[in-house]
């Protein structure tokens, strides 16, 4: 939702700058700041760079992330030498934009297995597994 709005704003400002008098200076390059490097922030940065006109009025894209890694809520944790998924690790196939973005970047997907035993899912409450 944010991407179409930003791109629309970018192209409107470019077209209005081009329709004025020739004495109007071109717009100065802008730096776009994105808060968060989850799937939304990462895809916004990717598509802004990909679809910006050339020469681009975007001087740079800065992503601000509070964690040391990208991925937002998609995360894993290690407990006792075992790796567990600890966030939004499921991408529903009906989520068109996320599914297309993962395909575009050729990210590896691991599909669920109907033969997985029930012990492969757990809910951790911070102290113990409750499910």
pLDDT in tens, 13-59: 665 555 555 678 777 778 899 999 988 898 899 888 888 877 767 77
For 9, list phi and psi in degrees, rounded to 5. Answer: -60, -40
- Which option is the CATH number for 2-9+29-110: 3.10.580.10, 3.40.50.300, 3.50.50.60, 3.40.50.970? 3.50.50.60
Residue of 40 and 118 predicted with greater confidence: 40
State yes or no: cis peptide before 55, omega within 30 of 0.
Answer: yes
Integer Cα distance of 131 and 122 in angstroms: 5
pTM above 0.85, yes or no: no
Domain ranges in the chain are: 2-9+29-110
Can you point out the beta strands (E) in 15-109?
Answer: 30-35, 58-64, 76-79, 82-85
Quick: pLDDT tens for 75-106: 788 889 988 877 776 777 788 888 888 888 88
């Amino acid at each position: 939702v944010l991407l179409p709005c930003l791109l629309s704003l970018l192209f409107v400002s470019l077209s209005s700058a081009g329709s004025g008098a020739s004495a109007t200076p071109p717009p100065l390059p802008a730096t776009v700041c994105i808060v968060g490097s989850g799937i939304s922030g990462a895809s916004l940065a990717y598509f802004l760079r990909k679809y910006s006109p050339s020469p681009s009025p975007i001087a740079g894209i800065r992503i601000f992330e509070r964690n040391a890694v990208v991925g937002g809520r998609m995360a894993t944790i290690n407990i006792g030498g075992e790796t567990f998924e600890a966030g939004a690790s499921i991408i529903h196939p009906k989520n068109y934009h996320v599914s297309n973005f993962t395909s575009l970047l050729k990210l590896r997907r691991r599909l669920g297995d109907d033969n997985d035993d029930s012990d492969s899912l757990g809910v951790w409450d911070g102290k113990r597994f409750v499910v």
